[in-house]
Amino acid sequence: MKTLLRTSSIAVLALVAAGCVTSPPAVLKPQDVPGAFTAPIAKDAPVWPKPDWWKGFGSTELDGLIADAQENNLDLAVAAARVLQADAETDIASSALFPDISLGGSAGRQGKNKGGPNFNTFSASLSAKYELDFWGLARSNLRAADESLKSAKFAQQVVALTVTAGVADTYLDVLALRQRVTIAQQNIDAANRVLSITEAKVTNGVASRLDLAQQQALLAGQKAQVPGLEEASREAGYALAVLLGRVPEGFSVKGENLSGIASPTVAPGLPSELLRRRPDVAAAEAELAAAHANVDAARAAFFPHIDLTASGGYASFALSALFNPSNLGFNIGASLLQTIFDGGRLLGESRLARAQQTELIANYRNTVLSAFQDVESALGQVASLAEQEKYKTEQVDAASEAFRISEIQYREGVADLLNVLQAQQTLFSAQDQLVQIKLARIQADIGLYKALGGSWVEDPGDATQPIPVSVTAPANTPMPADTAPPKDAAPATDTKKG
């Protein structure tokens, strides 16, 4: 109903008045939009994430945690409340398109201090006041509110994507830290085995107490790393609980390591398409459109205010005769008010609106460039970490075999303790680094999904900025239908359209 009334009022005003508004400036240039991403891209990978992209990591526990966060995360609750606030602001702005109608009534008794009759008075009145939006001030304020509402909705999508990625990242942190604790415990067990051999050799006089002290020092050093890893794991669990809107106490996850986590691949598509799939870009675009509407409103405020007023009612000395037709009176009028001097207030408001628009133009372009950077960096990290993981896995395999052989040779007396110490340190370090690289690689996958906007897509009707065709686009590369500049795309400078 609200939308119908607003639409009807705007249609009537468009016919009665000739107020003019301007289109937001088109701020992107062809050179701002590359033709293709240059970082390594996985072959045969699906283009763009699916709506439930996190399920590609193959963890049912993670799926449940993300569903829980989407329902109970407090940052999402804050974002939802901000959308409600912005929606209320549009109601306030749209009210200026309608008349103010007031109903009043009064009753009183009058008389004199000395002599004279006392008498009653009664009245009932209905009044209306309406300001013609001849110059488009109210419509510009409403456009600004509508664009701010869109920005709040897009910001809510940014929070939702950030929360989903944050839950996945933190969950993987917990698993990786637990796996590192397990590796440390396994190496402590191995060091204890070597220590037992060394103690036996010292007892039998075939090894010095120097060897014993060195092995004891290595064992103590490995034990010292465990408490820190365990505490980091607990703290990651606390952070995960807060992301789910829960208290940290009593919360835990079941996963123990990264071995069951898959690594789904995704391709980025064209850079020009990215700008319609990033909610932060859409939010910056809406903020710019709102700022431009404020510029129009500040310009319209310089023109005269034209008010229409009407009032009518009944007045009587007797309540029973109040609504007698002979007691009816009415008044209809119009007024015009033009500001002559305000000490520079209107001029200052106009300059402020333009300065804010200039700021948001830069912010929009920066958000666009940062979006491209995010994707390029995420693609590069995915490829680089995958290669690192491959070589680090080979190192772990070789180091494990080297330690096994050195332990046997030391037990049989054909190798000294130094070889064992070096082999064990190499193995422990490689195993620990492999877990960290594997974690970073999977989190890079999550970062790529986040950089691509998850599965979000901007409604074409919400777009106010045309996406120019890149001058670096490959030959014969078609422009996506939803990113091609419209025929009436706004030029780089403001132009009026009435």
pLDDT at 476 (0 to 100): 39
Which two tokens mark 24? 């937001």
Judged by phi (left if over 0) then psi (alpha if -120 to 50, else beta), residue 124 lies in beta
pLDDT at 418 (0 to 100): 87
pLDDT at 213 (0 to 100): 92
Summarize the confidence of residues 406-432 as an average pLDDT: 90
Distance CA 201, CA 209 (A): 10
pLDDT band at 20 (very low <50, low <70, confident <90, very high): low
pLDDT at 490 (0 to 100): 37
pLDDT at 120 (0 to 100): 79
pLDDT at 498 (0 to 100): 33
pLDDT at 493 (0 to 100): 37
pLDDT band at 2 (very low <50, low <70, confident <90, very high): low
Mean residue pLDDT of the chain comes to 87
Query: Could you tell me the domains of the chain?
Result: 19-99+136-303+344-491 (1.20.1600.10)
pLDDT at 478 (0 to 100): 41
Q: 154 pLDDT exceeds 70?
A: yes
Summarize the confidence of residues 154-172 as an average pLDDT: 97
pLDDT in tens, 228-257: 999 999 999 999 999 999 999 999 999 999
pLDDT band at 105 (very low <50, low <70, confident <90, very high): confident
Which two tokens mark 257? 């390591």
Interhelix angle 417-451/209-243, rounded to 10 degrees, is 10
List CB contacts of 357: < 8 A, sequence separation 6 or more.
25, 288, 291, 292, 294, 295
pLDDT in tens, 71-83: 999 999 999 999 9
Q: Which of 124-128, 456-460, 480-484 has the highest mean pLDDT?
A: 456-460
Q: 483 pLDDT exceeds 60?
A: no
Whole-prediction pTM value?
0.84
Summarize the confidence of residues 44-66 as an average pLDDT: 94
Which two tokens mark 403? 């330690």
Burial tier of 455 (Cβ tally within 10 Å: 0-12, 13-18, 19+): middle
Q: 223 pLDDT exceeds 90?
A: yes
Summarize the confidence of residues 209-226 as an average pLDDT: 91
Which letter does DSSP use for residue 340 in this model?
A: S
Q: 62 pLDDT exceeds 80?
A: yes
45-48's contacts with Cβ under 8 Å and 24+ in sequence apart are: 45/265, 45/266, 45/267, 46/265, 46/266, 46/267, 47/266, 47/267, 47/268, 47/269, 48/266, 48/267, 48/268, 48/269, 48/277, 48/452, 48/455
Q: Which amino acid is at 1?
A: M
- Give the phi and the psi of residue 485 in degrees, each rounded to 5: -60, 135
